Chain A
Amino acid sequence: MHQAEIILNEKVAHSIYLLRLRANKVAESANPGQFLHVKCTKGPHPLLRRPFSIADVQRKKDTADIIYRVVGEGTSILSQKKPGEVLDLMGPLGRGFPLPLPGTLPLIVGGGVGVAPLLFLAKKLSKVAGLEGRAFLGFSSARETFGMEVFESYGFSVELATVDGTCGKMGFPTELLEDYLKSEKKVKAIVYACGPRMLLLKVKEIAASCGIPAYLSLEERMGCGIGACLGCAVKSAKGGYKKVCRDGPVFEAGEVEIW
């Protein structure tokens, strides 16, 4: 646990916020795909911490970013926090994204606020020489889009889809991925995805049919965040349950059953 000072907490798109924390331990050690377990209030209500993927770290400035969507009580409280206030956080926790083998093309698929951990991943991938990846991003509407220019700054070519067609192609980012893989049949690629369950399910199917590996970042309600309470279960392909907080949140697509 550490206390981290809020440096900024601002809206970056409709109901999407960027929170920057001074957190040197996180900045030093975090890997893309890992998360922070954040206490939104001092008291017992809401009772649980909220897990957020790390969206970026700046080692020289000792900062860590999370990008969150205001969906309920915890995130609503969080969105009211001001710079200078202090947050209690645990982390970095969990298992992040593995890096691709040399010569493999990273294909990133993100949906909504699920784009957040992929920004940090793209940054890390950009530091691996010779990787020029592609990002397929989807949002419900133009007003909720964020992060495209960040991917571009890391050398990724970005394709966009929105459900209502207000920006990019009308539809889902998984369709963009599918189209791309149809046109580039021989590409040696690896897929990294985060987003709604339907998106992950689709990515898993597409990757399996093309015979390429895929890593999915899952979301589940969490209790302890460290594998003690067994609250964040996801069905394992081998039977039984994996824990999103400890075994994930990033899983190789074949490891887990997404329903």
Chain B
Amino acid sequence: MVDLSVKIAGICLKNPVMVASGTFGFAREYSRMFDVNELGAVVTKGITLLPKEGNPPPRLFETPAGLLNSVGLENPGVEGFIRDEWPYLKNLQVPVIVNIAGETVEEYRRIAQRLSPLEGISALEVNISCPNVEKGGMAFSRHPDSAYEVVRAVKEQSPFPVIAKLSPNVSDIREIALAVEEAGADAVSLINTMLGMAVDVEKKRPVFKRVFAGLSGPAVKPIALRMVYEVYEAVKIPIIGMGGIFGWRDAVEFILAGASAVAVGSAIFSDPAAPLKIIRGLEDYATRNLKTRISDLVGLAHRNDAEF
């Protein structure tokens, strides 16, 4: 028997496979398709202080082994979330991580404050990396000082562990990871989407109204993996790895590169059962490799030559 459980940011997960924010709604949508309680954790769609209507269509565009999205954080706002979504989420048997986003540091602070009485939230994932909004979002994750400031503000308000979700659209992600670690982040999520674009050749203009959009899927996996590997060597806090994880093999790569847990995102659109298949695949892999605990695999790719 392999022990799949992991402890990350003080939360105990029965397995290291979570879902990536924005791909899983508020879990209810998928609960009709499979038992979401089998997941390691559920991560909600990003919540802002006020309701947000999101970007005009088109919001999706498929690319080779990838997906561009420009949803723009459409969400019911923190009050709508508490009223309409939390009653379902709080009864789940798995940790629920609430993703929060804001335009200003003050907004992050107020959302954290408003969520703090909700018993049952396992952690906040601070989204400082959304590429699809006019203000805030990714801008905070592009500079160590602003990343620090947001995480510090949330940490001060929140009784819950804080996970910082970082943007890959920076020249050195280690600087940002170090800054949020110093600000008190309990873990980091790597990566949000890569900034990309598509052009409509018939209309001769960008496909998206906001021109740039966020790329996810297998197309970004090697980049995500590289960033997890880099950050693992730079910080002490645990890493949640994500970016194009479609099968157990991808998940194992992230874990060996240094991720303590992984999140499955766009793969869910292709196959809603992908996270469950990955959990089973991880178990088989660990068994074949004579590991009694999945956590024994974390960061193994960093050994010196002599250790292999």
Contacts and interface: CB of A to CB of B under 8 A. Distances in A.
Given A45-B218, A48-B269, A239-B53, A221 B62 contact: yes
Contact of B29 (A45, A47, A224, A234): A224
B60 A234 contact: no
A228 B59 contact: no
Given A47-B65, A47-B67, A233-B54, A224 B271 contact: no
Interface of A: 1, 39, 44-49, 88, 90, 220-235, 239-241
Contacts of A234: 57
Interface residues of B, number: 37
Cβ-closest 4 pairs across A and B: A228-B25, A228-B29, A231-B60, A240-B53
A47 B59 contact: no
B59 A1 contact: no
B209 to A, nearest CB: 11
A31 B284 CA distance: 41
B59 A233 contact: yes
Given A223-B269, A224-B268, A229-B23, A44 B57 contact: no
A90 B34 CA distance: 12
A44 B273 contact: no
Interface in B22-68: 22-25, 29-30, 32-33, 45, 53-62, 64-67
Interface of B: 22-25, 29-30, 32-33, 45, 53-62, 64-67, 69, 71, 74, 217-218, 246, 266-273
A220 to B, nearest CB: 6
A46 to B, nearest CB: 6
A232 B59 contact: yes
A33 B30 CA distance: 22
A233 B272 contact: no
A228 B62 contact: no
A62 B54 CA distance: 40
B25 A227 contact: yes
Given A44-B65, A44-B246, 7 more contacts: A45-B218, A47-B65, A224-B23, A224-B25, A229-B25, A229-B60, A229-B71
Given A223-B67, A229-B269, A233-B54, A44 B74 contact: no
Given A1-B273, A241-B74, A46 B29 contact: no
A198 B266 CA distance: 31
Contacts of B62: 46-48, 221
Contacts of B218: 44-45, 47
Contacts of A228: 23-25, 29-30
Given A228-B24, A229-B269, A222 B60 contact: yes
A221 B53 CA distance: 18
B53 A230 contact: no
Most-contacted residue by chain B among A88, A226, A231 (CB, 10 A) = A231
A39 B271 CA distance: 8
Contacts of B64: 45
Contact of B71 (A230, A235, A239): A230
B53 A241 contact: yes
Given A44-B217, A229-B25, A240-B53, A221 B58 contact: yes
Contacts of A229: 22-23, 25, 60, 69, 71, 269
A222 B62 CA distance: 10
A44 B274 CA distance: 11
B198 to A, nearest CB: 12
Contact of B69 (A225, A231, A235): A231
A197 to B, nearest CB: 11
Nearest to B19: A228
Contacts of A223: 23, 60, 67, 69, 266, 269
A72 B71 CA distance: 23
A15 to B, nearest CB: 18
Nearest to B218: A44
Nearest to B273: A1
10 contacts: A39-B271, A44-B267, A45-B65, A48-B62, A221-B60, A228-B23, A230-B25, A231-B59, A231-B60, A235-B57
A231 B273 CA distance: 20
Contacts of A45: 64-65, 218
A1 B33 contact: yes
A224 B45 CA distance: 14
A2 to B, nearest CB: 11
B18 to A, nearest CB: 15
Contacts of A46: 62
Given A224-B23, A224-B29, A230-B74, A48 B270 contact: yes
A146 B10 CA distance: 61
Nearest to B27: A228
A47 B269 contact: yes
